[in-house]
Amino acid sequence: MKRIIVYGLICVSAAICGCTAEKASQPLQKIPAITLAPADKEKLVAFQKELLSVERFADIAVSLAGNELKKVITGGEISLSVPSIITKAKGECLQAGEKLLKNTVPDALPPEAKKILTEGKAGLIDAYKGYAEAYDAMKNFVTDKNPMALLEYRNKQSRAQELFSRSTDKITMIMTAAGIAQ
């Protein structure tokens, strides 16, 4: 019976996500190549490394939580460690957002590029907050067995993934325009 309910919720959430009235995200415009002095290019590389460092630490906890949550969603047993894993993943996401707030976008960029990079950084912060909210919903599902919490988790998780994807696309676009390898 439990598996039927979980399967039904997954189908409903897939239908809701697939049938929303949101318009598809518009492709990013190409920007011309950015010429930077070597010192400024190093600042941009350092900024990129900081972003990747923050992402790497959050990704470890998020991957572990994702694997455990897949087991729970498919009807597997909920181990005693799942709530603590979810709490750790939420904490890592919130911490990632705080670390990103402290990173500053290099000033040497042209105004349009700096604006896009700032938007990308802000989007990453919002994405990590969204992931943290999704983990709150999943923790509610695990502790209360409320199927609506699973639907809430799916919605928040997909919104956070979309934000993350758009933000990384913006950052990648600027890094590519500046001639910095990914």
- Quick check: is 166 in a domain? yes
The predicted-structure confidence for 84-98, as pLDDT tens digits, reads as follows: 889 999 999 999 999
Let me know if residue 113 belongs to a domain: yes
CATH number at residue 142: 1.20.58
Residue 127 belongs to a domain: yes
**Three-state secondary structure along 85-96?**
HHHHHHHHHHHH
Asked whether residue 29 is domain-assigned, the answer is no
The whole-angstrom separation of Cα 30 and Cα 161 is 23
Give the pTM: 0.79
Number of domains in the chain: 1
pLDDT of residue 27: 52
| Tokens coding 133 | 């909210």
Which stretch of 11-15, 31-35, 46-50, 76-80 has the lowest confidence by average pLDDT? 11-15
Q: What domain range is 121 assigned to?
A: 2-19+38-177
Q: Give the C-alpha separation, 94 to 136, whole Å.
A: 12
Structural domain contains residue 126 = yes
- Chain centre to alpha carbon of residue 36: 29
Give residue 29's pLDDT. Answer: 66
Residue 31 lies in a domain: no
Please report whether residue 27 resides in a domain.
no
Find out whether 17 and 162 touch, Cβ atoms under 8 Å: no
